[in-house]
């Protein structure tokens, strides 16, 4: 058994223990309390004293694209999303297996260094499963699914089932499904994914309500997205706009029945907030990526006030500067005036809940997994603080 102690230990947003300690047996938390209370526990083999530091539940990053890590500083900030996608496609046009692997490995390292112990990653290729399988991170790796042609839906699902059959979940890895977005996945394919997920119990996530372009595309079938899809030869000739807002559209596919993780939700109406709330879905908010694209203020406060579970994601280094959830918390504190308690909840408990892991991680609790992070405190504070 190992005992880890520090000046402070924060069990959850409601409880901070001064001179706190945690005893770990195997992968689990056996005891938590003050050092004085638990130092005499029989069977402790090793004591790790972090000193002037705080021990926190490991941070949970609920939206990342680790395979894009090597694109840091390669993509110019833009509020034209389709322009960003073209830059991204161009930047990795010559990538081979070694490039993807190195990019994912670097992303994993950056997550661990930033105190993240659980990550929800989007797998654009199979390399993400192979590389992340070897990492000590707890993770859900969601297979990204893209095809707007309704005639392809059955073939796409058959192919994905065969591809995913070789990637087995284990104690740290869970395989999930990510139909990309309403402008890149047909309604028929969303419905097929829902059936597949219901049959297998796989978690699902999707990018939704991300840009005004997406709303224009779904409601009127006009704007930047159809032009973008035609350039990629990905616009089916028979496609008709459903005339719905993004969350209304998602409801019609059955996705909301699977308690999905909804990525972004940048532009949503009050009616859509009610739909999300009644579905029990969670929302992934990526604050600094949101700023990168120059979006208007995110409705995070409205979502929280409505009782919706909102966690934090970093998105990728193609639209962010670090993969640190702590940096997202600092940004939100400064720009959205969210309280430290709420920020800590979003980065731990809420993230765990969004990934269906709330009975295992997200707080330092006896019987939970020993997913922890330690943050060194400054030795001295400036006089005016
Ligand atoms: Zn994303």
How far, in Å, from the CA of 303 to the mean position of ligand 1? 19
How far, in Å, from the CA of 375 to the mean position of ligand 1? 28
- Span 261-268, average pLDDT: 98
How far, in Å, from the CA of 286 to the mean position of ligand 1? 9
Q: What is the pLDDT of residues 304-362, one digit of tens each?
A: 999 999 999 999 999 999 999 999 999 999 999 899 999 999 999 999 999 999 999 99
Q: What is the pLDDT of residues 108-145, one digit of tens each?
A: 999 999 999 999 999 998 899 999 999 999 999 999 99
How far, in Å, from the CA of 64 to the mean position of ligand 1? 6
Residue 43 has pLDDT above 80, yes or no: yes
How far, in Å, from the CA of 180 to the mean position of ligand 1? 8
CB 95: neighbour CB atoms within 10 A? Answer: 16
Per-residue pLDDT, 382: 67
Q: d(Cα 376, Cα 363) in Å, to the nearest integer?
A: 19
How far, in Å, from the CA of 207 to the mean position of ligand 1? 6
How far, in Å, from the CA of 178 to the mean position of ligand 1? 10
How far, in Å, from the CA of 343 to the mean position of ligand 1? 21
DSSP string, 126-187: THHHHHHHTSSSEEEEEEEE-B--GGGHHHHHHHHHHHHTTS---SSEEEEEEE--TTTB-H
How far, in Å, from the CA of 42 to the mean position of ligand 1? 47
How far, in Å, from the CA of 295 to the mean position of ligand 1? 15
Residue 385 has pLDDT above 60, yes or no: no
How far, in Å, from the CA of 268 to the mean position of ligand 1? 17
CB 2: neighbour CB atoms within 10 A? Answer: 15
How far, in Å, from the CA of 33 to the mean position of ligand 1? 38
How far, in Å, from the CA of 335 to the mean position of ligand 1? 22
How far, in Å, from the CA of 316 to the mean position of ligand 1? 7
Residue 265 has pLDDT above 80, yes or no: yes
Judged by DSSP in three states, 324 sits in: coil
How far, in Å, from the CA of 313 to the mean position of ligand 1? 9
Per-residue pLDDT, 175: 96
How far, in Å, from the CA of 57 to the mean position of ligand 1? 24
- Span 380-384, average pLDDT: 68
Residue 292 has pLDDT above 80, yes or no: yes
How far, in Å, from the CA of 107 to the mean position of ligand 1? 14
Per-residue pLDDT, 156: 97
In contact, 97 and 331? CB cutoff 8 Å: no
Architecture of domain 2-57+367-376: Roll (2.30)
pLDDT, the chain, mean: 94
- Please, what is the end-to-end C-alpha distance for the chain in angstroms? 39
> How does strand 261-264 pair with strand 205-208?
parallel
Higher pLDDT, 173 or 83: 173
For 192-257, the three-class secondary structure string (H helix, E strand, C coil) is: HHHHHHHHHCCCEEEEECCCHHHHHHHHHCCCHHHHHHHHCCCCCCCCCCCCCCHHHHHHHHCHHH
Per-residue pLDDT, 78: 77
Residue-range domain boundaries for the chain: 2-57+367-376, 59-354
Higher pLDDT, 91 or 301: 301
How far, in Å, from the CA of 122 to the mean position of ligand 1? 7
Domain 59-354 has CATH 1.10.3720.10: no
How far, in Å, from the CA of 98 to the mean position of ligand 1? 22
Per-residue pLDDT, 282: 98
Q: What is the pLDDT of residues 143-173, one digit of tens each?
A: 999 999 999 999 999 999 999 999 888 889 9
How far, in Å, from the CA of 266 to the mean position of ligand 1? 13
How far, in Å, from the CA of 63 to the mean position of ligand 1? 6
How confident is residue 380, by pLDDT bands cut at 50, 70 and 90? confident
- Span 367-380, average pLDDT: 94
Per-residue pLDDT, 384: 56
How far, in Å, from the CA of 204 to the mean position of ligand 1? 13
Per-residue pLDDT, 208: 98
How far, in Å, from the CA of 208 to the mean position of ligand 1? 10
Q: What is the pLDDT of residues 178-231, one digit of tens each?
A: 999 999 999 999 999 999 999 999 999 999 999 999 999 999 999 999 999 998
């Amino acid at each position: 058994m190992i005992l880890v102690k520090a000046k402070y230990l924060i069990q959850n947003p409601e409880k901070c223990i001064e001179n706190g300690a945690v005893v770990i047996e195997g992968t689990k938390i056996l005891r938590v309390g003050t050092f004085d209370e638990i130092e005499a526990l029989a069977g402790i083999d090793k004591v790790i004293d972090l000193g002037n530091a705080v021990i926190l539940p490991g941070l949970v990053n609920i939206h990342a694209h680790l395979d894009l890590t090597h694109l840091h500083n390669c993509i110019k900030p833009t509020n034209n999303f389709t322009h960003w996608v073209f830059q991204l496609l161009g930047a990795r046009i010559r990538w081979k297996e070694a490039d993807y692997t190195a990019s994912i490995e670097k992303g994993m390292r950056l997550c661990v260094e930033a105190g993240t112990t659980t990550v929800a990653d989007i797998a654009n290729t199979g390399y993400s499963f192979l590389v992340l399988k070897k990492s000590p991170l707890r993770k859900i790796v969601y297979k990204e699914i893209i095809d707007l042609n309704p005639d392809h839906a059955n073939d796409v699902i058959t192919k994905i089932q065969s591809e995913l059959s070789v990637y087995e979940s284990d104690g740290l890895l869970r395989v999930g499904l990510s139909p990309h977005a309403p402008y890149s996945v047909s309604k028929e394919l969303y419905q097929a994914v829902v059936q597949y997920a219901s049959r297998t119990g796989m978690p699902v996530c999707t990018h939704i309500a991300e840009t005004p372009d997406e709303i224009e595309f779904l409601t009127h079938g006009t704007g930047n997205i159809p032009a973008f899809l035609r350039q990629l030869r990905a616009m089916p000739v028979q496609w008709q706009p459903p005339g719905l807002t993004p969350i209304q559209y998602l409801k019609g596919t059955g996705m909301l029945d699977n308690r999905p993780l909804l990525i972004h939700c940048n532009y949503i109406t009050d009616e859509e907030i009610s739909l999300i709330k009644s579905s029990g879905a969670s929302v992934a908010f990526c604050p600094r990526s949101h700023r990168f694209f120059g979006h208007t203020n995110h409705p995070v406060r409205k979502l929280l006030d409505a009782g919706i579970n909102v966690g934090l994601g970093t998105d990728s280094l193609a639209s962010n500067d670090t993969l640190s959830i702590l940096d997202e918390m600092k940004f939100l504190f400064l720009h959205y005036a969210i309280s430290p308690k709420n920020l800590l909840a979003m980065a731990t408990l809420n993230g765990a809940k969004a990934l269906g892991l709330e009975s295992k991680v997200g707080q330092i609790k006896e019987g939970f997994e020993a997913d922890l992070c330690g943050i060194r405190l400054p030795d001295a504070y400036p006089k005016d603080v």
